[in-house]
Every structure is written in structure tokens, then in C-alpha cells.
Amino acid sequence: MTENFNKDKVTVLIDGNSVIYRAFYNVPPLTADGVPTGVIHVFLSVLEKLRKNPAVSEVIIVFDAKGKNRRHEMFESYKATRQAMPEDLITQLNILKEMLPYTGCPIYSIEGYEADDVINTLSKTINNRVWIVTKDKDLHQLVNDKVQIYDYQKDEVIDREKVYEKFGLYPESIPDMLALMGDTSDNIPGVAGIGPKTAKTLLDEYNNLDNIYANTDKLKGKTKEKIIEGKESAYLSRKLVELFFIDNMQADIKERDEEKLKQYYERYQLKQQLSSLNVEQKVNALEYKQVDNIEITAYLNGKVYAVNDTSYYEYTSGSAKYFYDIKSLIKQGISLPEKALDILLADYLLDPDAGGIRQLKDESAGEFFAKLYNKSKNIDKLLKENSLENLYYNMELPVAYILAEMEQTGILIDSKNIESVAEKLKEHIEKEYNHIRDLAGQEINPNSPKQLSAYLYDKLGLKGAKKNKSGYSTDEDTLKDLRLSYPAYDELISSILKYREINKLYSTYTLNLLEYVKDDRIHTEFKQTGTATGRLSSINPNMQNIPQKGEYAEILRSSFIAKKGFNLVSLDYSQIELRILAHLSEDENLIKAFNEDKDIHTMTAVSIFHLPSSEQVTHNIRRIAKAVNFGILYGLSSFGLSRDTKVSRKEAQAFIDGYFALYPKVRIFIDNIIEQTKSNGYCSTILGRKRKIADINSRNANIRMRAERMAVNAPIQGSAADIIKLAMIKCDDYIKSNNIDAKCILQIHDELIFEVNENTADEFIKNIKGIMESVVKLSVPLLVNAEKGDNWGQL
């Protein structure tokens, strides 16, 4: 029997480590911008489910403390065989530990003790019914009339009888059972040679460990020998599985803070959790009725609306102070004032990672327009306070007009050529499939992670891949790592990667493209708010992802053609991000290299390979140096460089060290920009675009390092985005003011593509090249490469 307790209230004790481990090996590795979040999502879902249970009055979360505990004093090898926690799980555990105190739940982690000991102590001191959320069999010993195990997946409460059904023993016998059979997961030795079946038989006969040893004379054969020889180990094992009672425990307790939770949920894109918060109560939806005084003209879901503070209605005519989605409004023929303020673009500039105010999945038009109206109240003020007015009116607004015209123009496509490419790809896919089958000795679907995982990891026994819900990972990075680790399977894995590459070309870039053809042209949609760095993106279809290199790239690109009497003209900034790095870092060697028009990759190669001159630089050596030059911009580690260049990690690190020896001020620039971002909370481009870096001061090393890489890359990539946008504006001014027979039809990151009258193409190239190279003044020259042809493949 147990003491009296309040049977009407339930206190839940969550065994945090048990829940996160189970989630890690049973859910897909969801990510938010590269940060794993699958475990976080599961843990918060379990927590929310418990909080909403009407029977539950309190939820307490318990984690193991770092370092060794009292059991290590008794047995040095305690848990010695347990594998180190996976890096992705460490990352998520650290995020949870930062976030969970703001849920209002008490958090316990007591140095020198395990979570099991804390849960044991709480279960004995709490005066309510207790549910323990765990899969740990040790904790089943606590089950009694007051304490039960709660299975959140089955929504089942496990009492004494269910413990018996599960183990064939009642809770009080579990320590003795583990003392006999041991526990490999914790490296508890038990009695050598005694397994679960024998342990249960002995406990059924003699009830407990002490009685077994009091009656060893009645035991027979090998069992008797094992029990007698293993006595010391049995009693040590029982001590290891018995739970401590801890005096004077202190919890980490905070008031529930939904504003803080909202920040975490937004940062890690936890949409389900975000929707459960009450931080922003839904505003009263605007009514759908005639609008007298228009305050906002908005484009939403294919229609144009007039909006004010009380209602919204289909737009017919009239002027407004604010606008929503100006690019789409332009395409609808809506007349706009010279300095039209687009709430979407302005909100994007204020918080580029959020991508601008959008209608949520379950949000009605009336609710969205109420939210939009509220946003409009201080949007002007916020732009001014954040010094973003110039960027909005002199860059983003004119670019919106240009993009609208580019989308309407589109690019001409040769549909028959696309169909021909599709047939060739289909033949190549079949050939590669047969090659994989021959190498593997069996049929394998390279697009099936399950089949591929079974073959690579179960049949071949390859190691080193991350596990997900469908088995071990077979993504591109994993396969590249395996190719390095297992040279004997290089041909097979390379063939699998090749198959996937060709299959993607076939499914995404051939027949799929034809679905977007209208009036013999493809009219892609450019997203002005699609990236946090300011770069444009492209959808329906994504023209920026049309392959540039590879066996089929040129033939595929040749399907995009100029109309009769015109050329396609490409003007592409050369190494713009490296030139921006030279300007921002003020590194003398980098600046000198660009000012003297040296081959920067060859120059880097000579230094990091310690070569006497550039004549010794081979194609492969230059390729590695190029990977180092660009890798520095993205915070590439020695591991990443090793994987990409097929050199050892030691060599890769030596190359990185050699790079910073050659360009020492780049290292200083990186350190300075990180420190400035930590101080300001944001980083800026040359022209003043800002990006908040929320995790730059995180206590989690993995998350902080990721944020530091973003802080370094955003000013460089963002400055390149700003420069190409300025170039678009200047080129558009030149075309229109001089009545040139040419139109900009595509923007591919650092490249602009025009459709130009063939009679004026050469002069056009000369003038546009001059405009693009002088659009901003840097400490190094901007260089633009120009090409012309009848189709994109010739550029």
C-alpha cells in the first residue's frame, strides 16, 4: 500500500532523455535552415498534449545531468559501452534546454544524479497521482497505486498489472530481475550466463534476490554454479539499478513566457507549436462589403481587393495610400503612384528571414486583411527608423516594376528540342539503371531510400550514415561520404548518384518544363521576398536551377531561344562575391590580385600547395583552390572541403590554414563581422540591407557556429544581390531612355539575360557592360563577361 494522495490530480514527470532518444530514432530528421528539429517537434507535441489533458495539473521535466554520477563511484564501467550522443541530438537537446523553461514547467537536472533518481524522489514527495513518461524499464520499479507509467504514443496508463503483463513480474521485482540478467544498455553486468527467462524462473520460485541466495543449495547444475559465482556481481548490479532519494532538490522554474516561446518557434519554424500560442489573438476579420475609403489596394489569390479598417471588397477603381504585392498589381494593370509603398516588400526588408507578411494556411481573407491593415499603421515609421527607406524606394520598388515586365515577356522555348532531350535522358536513365544492377548483382531502385538503405547497409554492411524513419540515410551528401570511406564501392555509388542526377533532369527539366509553356514562351515568376540575403529566386518553373554544367546542360539550355531577328545576350559578373570579399576585408593580396587581373584561383593554389610558380598548377590543383576560395565565403569546414575535393581532412585543414596565411585580413574581417553581429544583432550589406542573426549569441555551439557562418556570408551574398539589382535598374533606364529594341528576360543570380535585336547586339553589349561594371565603386574592379547567341546553350 502507498500513502494517501490526491487521486483527482495528476502530476506528470517527463523523463526527458528517454523521450528525446526515442524521438530521434523514430522521426524524420526535420530541419529548419539546416538545424535538425524533429526531436524538438516531438517533445513539444508531447508536452502540449499533456498540458491539454484535463486530468493533468502539472508537468515537470527531468533531464540527466552532465558528467559522471554516484553509480560511477560504485562501478567505474557503468554505462561505459553506451555510444556518445549523436551530434544532431546534442544540438536539439541544447535548444530544448534553452526553450523549455519558458513553458512554465519546472525543470530538474541534479549534478551527480540521474533523471531516474530525480523522478524517484519527486514521485515520493508529490501528493498527487503521478504519471511518468518514459520507456526506461528501470523506472517501472516505481509503479504502485499512486505512480503509473504513461505511454504518450498509445495514450495508455501502465499500472501494476500491465507491468506484470509486460515483464512477467510485478514492479518491486524489477531491480532483482536486472540484478540477475544485467542491462547491456547501461553496462550493468548481472550474473554471467543468466538471461531473462532464467531470471524470471528464479524470481517466480524464490520471490527476490536475497531468497535466491538463501536457497542456493536447492539450485541445480549450471544455474547453481552461475548464481554462486556471480553473487558479488548480482548485488552490485542491484545497487546500480536501485534508485536514490535526493534531499533538497532545486528546480529551474520560470513563468510561462509565450513571447519568448514565439521567438523560438518562429526561429526553428515550429508552425504547429506557433499556432497553439495565444501571443497574438486573432484580430476580428474584416467584413466582405463595399469599401468607401480605400486605404490598401492588395493582390491576393488571383484577385485585386480594396481594403480599409473595417471591410474589403473586389477592387474596381480608386487610389490608396498602401499596396500589397506591387509586382502582381502592375501585371494586373493597376495604376500606382510614383512612391507606392508595398507592405509586402517593406515588411520583408524589416525581417527578411520571415519573407514578408503572408496569408497563413487556415487564415481567411478577412482575417488576413485585418492583419495587413494593422501592419500598415507603422510600416513607414519602421522603414525610417531602420534606415531602409532608400533601399526600398531606390532599389526594391523599381526592381518590382522590372520583374513584372520580365515575367510578362518570358523566354521563347523550342518544345520539340525539349522532347528530344527527354528521349535521350530516358535512354541514359535505363542504361545507368542496368549498370547499377550489374554492379550490385540485383535489382535496386536508386530512387527508393528503403531499397537502397537495405542494400548498402544491411547487405554490404557499410557504416557511418545517419538514421531516419525509413532507415539509414541515402541522401547525396551521405552517398558522397560513403564513396570516400569505401573506395571499393566508388563505381557503384557514383553510378547511383549519376542515375539520380539524370532522373532529376528528366523529371524536372524536360517534360515538366513543357507544362509551363504559354504562347511558346515560359513565364517564370521571380520571388523578390524569397531569400533572406536579398537574392531573387524563381518558381513556376525555377529557371535559376536549369543546369549549367554536365553532359546535358548545353543541349537542354539550347532549347531556350531568341525570336527571329534577335540574339540572346548574357552579361555575367565575374567572381563578384570574391571581389566583394576583397573590398570588405581590405586584404592587400586579394585587392592586388583583382587590380592586376590575376587568376585568383591559381594564385591561391600556388600558395596553399607551396608551389614554385603558377606553371605547376594543374587543373585538379586549381579546382581544389577554387573550392577553398569559395568555401571560405560559406564557412566550409575541413570536413566539408575534404568531402568536396576528395582529400584528407588533415590536408583540407592545411589548405584552409594556407588560405588565411595568404589573405590574413580575411580572417580579421570574419572575426570582426561576427563580433559586430553579436553586438548589433544584425549584419549589413554595402548598401545597407540588414539581416537579423537571431542565434549569434546562442549557448549551443553548433547553432552559434551556424549563425556565425550566416553573419559572414549574408553581407557578401547580400551585397552581390544589391549590385545586380542596381544593375537591372540602370540597364532598364538605358534601354527605355534610348528606345533600345531589347528586353531583360532572365536574372540568374549574378547574370542578366536579354533578348536583343541582332543588328544592335554588339553595341548593346558594349554599353550594358560599361553600365554594369560602374554601378558601384569598390576597391577592386567589377568585371562583366558578355556572350551572345541564338540560344541559351551558346552563351
- What CATH number did the domain enclosing 633 receive? 1.10.150.20
- Judge whether 426 lies within some domain: yes
- Is the overall model pTM greater than 0.75, yes or no? no
Cα Dmax for the chain? 109
Q: Give the pLDDT score at 636.
A: 80
Question: Per the structure block, which three cell numbers stand in for 38?
Answer: 524533429
Q: Is residue 415 over pLDDT 80?
A: yes
Q: What 8-state DSSP symbol labels residue 111?
A: T
Would you say 456 and 482 are in contact if contact means Cβ atoms under 8 Å apart? yes
Do residues 52 and 143 both lie within one domain? Answer: yes
23 and 162 belong to one structural domain? yes
The CATH number of the domain holding residue 286 is 3.30.420.10
Q: Would residue 772 count as lying in a domain?
A: no
The CATH code of the domain that includes 490 is 1.20.1060.10
What is the structure's pLDDT at 8? 82
208 within a domain of the structure (yes/no): no
Contact 183, 175 (CB under 8 A): no
Residues 434 and 398 occupy one common structural domain: no
Confirm whether 761 is domain-assigned.
no
Residue 10: which CATH number? 3.40.50.1010
Same domain assignment for residues 389 and 471: no
What's the residue count for the chain?
795
Percent of the chain with pLDDT over 70: 97
- Give 475's contacts (C-beta < 8 A, 6+ positions apart): none
- Give the pLDDT score at 278: 60
Same domain assignment for residues 446 and 404: no
Average pLDDT over residues 402-425: 95
Quote the domain boundaries for residue 31: 6-169
Same domain, 500 and 475: yes
Residues 401 and 438 in one domain: no
Rounded to an integer, the average pLDDT of 754-770 is 98
Q: Which of 377, 410, 443 is the last residue before a domain boundary?
A: 410
Phi/psi of residue 748, nearest 5 degrees: -120, 80
Q: Which residues are paired to 62 by β-bridges?
A: 15, 108
pLDDT digit string, tens, across residues 16-25:
999 999 888 7
Q: Are residues 19 and 161 in the same domain?
A: yes
Residue 533 covered by a domain:
no
Is there a domain that residue 220 lies in?
no
Distance, CA of 128 to CA of 146 (rounded, Å): 8
> For the chain, what is the domain count?
4
**Last-in-domain residue among 169, 185, 211:** 169
Residues 299 and 382 in one domain: yes
Does 404 map to a domain?
Answer: yes
pLDDT of 632 strictly over 50: yes
Reported as a single tens digit per residue, the pLDDT across 65-75 is 988 888 888 98
The closest alpha carbon to 573, from 756, 736, 352, 778, belongs to 778
d(CA 358, CA 343): 10
Grid cell in block for residue 490? 566508388
Do 383 and 423 lie in one domain? The reply is: no
Question: Are both 619 and 500 inside the same structural domain?
Answer: no
Q: Which phi and psi (to 5°) does residue 270 adopt?
A: -90, 80
Say if 451 falls within a structural domain: yes
Least confident range from 75-89, 406-420, 513-527: namely 75-89
Could you report the per-residue pLDDT of 213-230, keeping only the tens digit for each?
Answer: 999 999 999 999 999 999
Looking at 504, 522, 540, the residue that finishes a domain is 522
- Give the span between the Cα atoms of 62 and 120, in whole angstroms: 11
451 with 514, same domain? yes
- b/e for 20-44, b at 16 or more Cβ within 10 A? bbbbbeeeebbeeeebbbbbbbbbb
